[in-house]
Amino acid sequence: MPELTSKQIRERFLNFFQKRGHAVIPSASLVPENDPSVLFNSAGMQPLMPYLLGKEHPRGARLVNSQKCVRTQDIDEVGDNTHDTFFEMLGNWSLGDYWKDDAIKWSYEFLTSKEDGLGLDSARLYITVFGGSDKIQRDLESVEIWKSLGIPEHRIYFKNSKSNWWSIGLNSPAGPSTEMFYDLSGTLGDANQETFEKAEEEQRVVEIWNDVFMMYWQENGEVVSELPKRNVDTGAGLERVVMAVQGKNNIFETDLFLPLIRVIEESSNIENQRAVRIVADHIRTAVFLIADGVLPSNREQGYILRRLLRRAQYYFNNKLGGSVTLSVFAQSIIDTYKDTEYKFDSKVIEKVITDEEAKFRTSLLLGLKQFEKFSRGNISGIDAFTLFSTYGFPIEMTEELAREKKISTDIDGFQQEFKKHQELSRAGAEQKFKK
């Protein structure tokens, strides 16, 4: 079938589930409403949590949408083939309605159907299911459903609770999941579990869909009861789905990124693929955050936006030899999402980015003076974190400056300080779902 664009894939997904009785709902803002305990919506189900816990949704028991999400816990992985900080999560939900049989069959049908779905090759699909725990049995039911759809048993793998058990915290709804992986190269063939897991680690197969069967309530990480209703929560990262459909081995060569990548490369003097990908990812995330009302600051969402912009500025200037303002890249991102539900004010976005760049240049001068004081010896973890948190120095910049002075940077110490900061920032998050 002809190659589908990201816009067509998004539309096909919504239409597929709308035909099966799902109400299409809009994406919520990236900034959660009335919930200061988390910085961003990081999964499609997050804005729907009251309804997953039993509240009646005004649109009914079957819902579908494409939810804007931001996750920054894997920021150091950005630059590889699959990680990004902003992404869209395609999701369909059953609020006490259908269960495993329909959820799995529809996931499979959408992925493989040439008429209504994406037309992916079923021979390149690999499946993982929950392998059981002390309290919860392994998910043999899902295995039988997959087998009935034609997936060979030797391409269905039991995984432990870390991989195929879903929750959003120690106190939250929870349940087993089944994940769908796609062989990007088409060369893996019949693989045992060890071979499959190695291919996953090497990003030759990537997860493109996850069906979660929420039926339990857990407290302090332990299942204590069943939920009033059994819910289905599915998620398919659009960027990875587009990568599979368009036959690419990384998300940055899809039509969601490629126009932006080309503009960045044209404005660079140095070839550095990882740096280009980091700049593209961070600017794209920044544009969406600003569009949802986030402004750079030293607190909460604004702190993350500032960190992304300054990290992008560092990589663009220092690793790519670029000198133009990052705001020139905003229009390429806005153009990519025209004719979608997402709205942008290009003038506001460009001004916010330009103003923040100017502030970073000022902060950089102050930070360099502070670095000179710290660099009379090796850079401690606390010193590196001070440069990071107070002056906006990406840790990569501190490392590079230290190397020039032939001194070391305590990266482990920095990571410990950063982890403390993250834990403080999330201090209230675990209270979110307590009954």
Judging by beta carbons within 10 Å of its beta carbon (0-12, 13-18, 19+), is residue 393 exposed, middle or buried? buried
Full pLDDT tens readout for the chain, 435 residues: 568 999 999 999 999 999 999 999 999 999 998 666 688 988 888 888 888 888 899 999 999 999 999 998 888 889 898 899 999 999 999 999 999 999 999 999 999 999 999 999 999 999 999 998 888 899 999 999 999 999 999 999 999 777 888 877 778 888 999 999 999 988 898 899 999 999 999 989 999 999 999 999 888 888 898 888 899 999 999 999 999 999 999 999 999 999 999 999 999 999 999 999 999 999 999 999 999 999 998 788 998 999 899 889 989 998 999 989 999 999 999 999 998 999 999 999 999 999 999 988 888 888 888 888 888 888 999 999 999 888 888 888 888 888 888 899 999 999 898 888 766 655 544 444 333
Does residue 298 sit in helix, strand or coil?
Answer: coil
Please report the DSSP string for 233-260 in residue order.
EEEEEHHHHHHHHTT-SSGGGSTTTHHH
Q: Which two tokens stand for residue 434?
A: 């307590």
Domain boundaries, the chain: 6-248, 257-357, 375-435
Q: What is the pLDDT of residue 198?
A: 94
Q: What is the pLDDT of residue 373?
A: 87
Q: What is the pLDDT of residue 435?
A: 34
Q: How far is CA 381 from CA 314, 386, 395, 400, 413, in A?
A: 20, 9, 10, 15, 4
Ranges of H-type helices in 181-294: 193-201, 238-245, 258-266, 273-291
Closest to 355 measured CA to CA, from 304, 299, 297, 275: 297
Under CATH, what is the fold of the domain 6-248?
BirA Bifunctional Protein; domain 2 (3.30.930)
Q: Which two tokens stand for residue 374?
A: 């710290």
Q: Which two tokens stand for residue 360?
A: 């970073």
- Residue 239 to residue 244: CA distance in whole angstroms: 9
In this structure, what DSSP letter does residue 409 have?
A: B
Per this entry, what is the length of the chain? 435
Does residue 178 sit in helix, strand or coil?
Answer: strand
Please report the DSSP string for 292-349 in residue order.
TT----SSHHHHHHHHHHHHHHHIIIIIS---S-GGGGHHHHHHHTTTSS----HHHH
The strand pairing partners of 234, in sequence order, are: 211
Closest to 14 measured CA to CA, from 100, 113, 110, 103: 110
Q: What is the pLDDT of residue 429?
A: 41
The strand pairing partners of 167, in sequence order, are: 174
Q: What is the pLDDT of residue 432?
A: 41
Asked if 117 contacts 109 with a C-beta cutoff of 8 angstroms, the reply is yes
- Residue 435 to residue 426: CA distance in whole angstroms: 19
Q: What is the pLDDT of residue 84?
A: 94
Residue that has been written with the tokens 């109400």 in this structure: 23
